[in-house]
Amino acid sequence: MAPDPARAEIVVDLAAVRHNVRLLRGLTGPDVAMMTVVKADGYGHGMSAVAAAARTAGATWLGVATVEEALALREAGDTGRLLCWLGVPGEDYSAALAGDIDVTAYSQAELAEIEDAARATGVTARLQLKVDTGLARGGARLEDWPDLVAAAAKAESVGLVRVTGVWSHFACSDEPRHPANDDQQRVFEEALEITAAAGLTPEVRHLANSAATVLRPGSHYDLVRCGIASYGLDPAPGETAPDLGLVPAMTVRARLSMVKRLRAGDSVSYGHRWTAPYDTTVGLVPAGYGDGVPRIASDRVSAWAAGARRPLRGRVCMDQVVVELGDAEARPGDEVVLFGTGAGGGPTATEWAQACETINYEIVTRIGGRFTRTIVDSEGTQP
């Protein structure tokens, strides 16, 4: 490979995103709609590029947390169905309604704000209602559900809203044998009965995130909301089939700033946490915790350089970290891959996450800082 001029970059392959979205659609069959979740800048991959790739691969819906994220997608030219789900008191939903965005109410207070926006804009709000089936995060608790549903039905009867969806979210879908999954789905069924009894006819009922899409087919209903798996990362390491075929879309790489020889007994980086037990070569990677490389990764993870896995040695600093190259031939400017597709035996974000006591979501979402982002398409087609 020709040397890449970038100092440190995040390379995102849209062909991998399309592959993953198609693969996930294959798990649900054609009667279940696919929502690709692109919140938090597409889990750090670049929201609008990922969104366009997901649309190409058949995502009829996109999902984001905030109204601002949804509006940014409209700015970027996306025109398809788009749901957002996290407001704050005083939220102005007018722009969302004008932008043809489906909005979510967790409570009657939120519903009232959405009705205000419908009156102000003259647009019938496309409204989804979220029930808290046991995550105890967003959504109406079951005891408050009948009143929320009744208020929504009333708003629908006067043309202020159209209830397009009813949904909830799992707490333990990455632990398929956890009893909370069955409990939550039972509560969801109850909430759906209450919704139907109130005369509401939502287009989409949805409950499954990536892990449930893969591990709990009975939770697919009309639509699945896939985030992490769309980026090629395992939503439930140790639970999903290893040959599922997801391809990580993100590769994080840099060029070695410097290469030097250490003698046995030399200690590396702040606190001298690692001492070379033998003579060895180290390379300086120009990225650190200021760029989202977790400080806890110190002495725990490997990168890929000079044709092999190479351990990070000593403390991760704000701007730099040291990788041990052994006796390999390496020169300043050589490429080092912190994590990527795993093809050829290199490290993955999932492996970094496990070493850093976190989840792959956090590794890819937080990487950024001074890394530049390069969007590529390994199939050479337009995204």
Catalytic residues: 39, 270
Beta bridge partners of 126: 162
- Give min distance, CB of 198 to ligand PLP, in A: 23
Give backbone dihedrals phi and psi of 337, rounded to 5 degrees, phi first: -105, 120
- Give min distance, CB of 85 to ligand PLP, in A: 6
- Give min distance, CB of 227 to ligand PLP, in A: 2
Our CA angle for 225, 229, 235, nearest 5°, is 100
**Among residues 205 and 225, whose Cβ is nearest to ligand PLP?**
225
Which 3 state secondary structure label does DSSP give 302?
strand
**Among residues 160 and 226, whose Cβ is nearest to ligand PLP?**
226
**Among residues 230 and 298, whose Cβ is nearest to ligand PLP?**
230
In angstroms, what CA-CA distances link 324 with 284, 287, 299, 311, 333? 9, 15, 10, 6, 15
Binding interface with ligand PLP (CB under 6 A): 37, 39, 85, 169, 209-211, 225-228, 235
> How many whole angstroms separate alpha carbon 266 and alpha carbon 276?
6
Largest separation between any pair of C-alpha atoms in the chain: 79
Query: CB atoms < 10 A from the CB of 201, how many?
Result: 10
- Give min distance, CB of 209 to ligand PLP, in A: 4
CA nearest neighbour of 184 among 152, 214, 209, 148: 209
> How many whole angstroms separate alpha carbon 5 and alpha carbon 235?
33
**Among residues 40 and 312, whose Cβ is nearest to ligand PLP?**
40
Which 3 state secondary structure label does DSSP give 179?
helix
- Residue 342, classified by CB atoms within 10 Å of its CB into exposed (0-12), middle (13-18) or buried (19+), is middle
- For residue 129, give both structure tokens: 């209602």
Pairing mode of beta strands 103-105, 335-339: unpaired
Where residue 271 falls (left for φ over 0; alpha for ψ -120 to 50; beta otherwise) is left
> How many whole angstroms separate alpha carbon 38 and alpha carbon 74?
13
Using Cβ positions, the residue closest to ligand PLP within the complex turns out to be 227
- Give min distance, CB of 120 to ligand PLP, in A: 27
Which 3 state secondary structure label does DSSP give 361?
helix
- Give min distance, CB of 180 to ligand PLP, in A: 15
In angstroms, what CA-CA distances link 10 with 4, 63, 363, 364? 12, 23, 12, 10
Q: What is the CA radius of gyration of the chain?
A: 24
Beta bridge partners of 275: 267
Query: CB atoms < 10 A from the CB of 377, how many?
Result: 17
- Give min distance, CB of 300 to ligand PLP, in A: 24
318 has binding-site annotation: yes
Binding-site residue numbers for substrate are: 137, 318
Binding-site residue numbers are: 137, 318
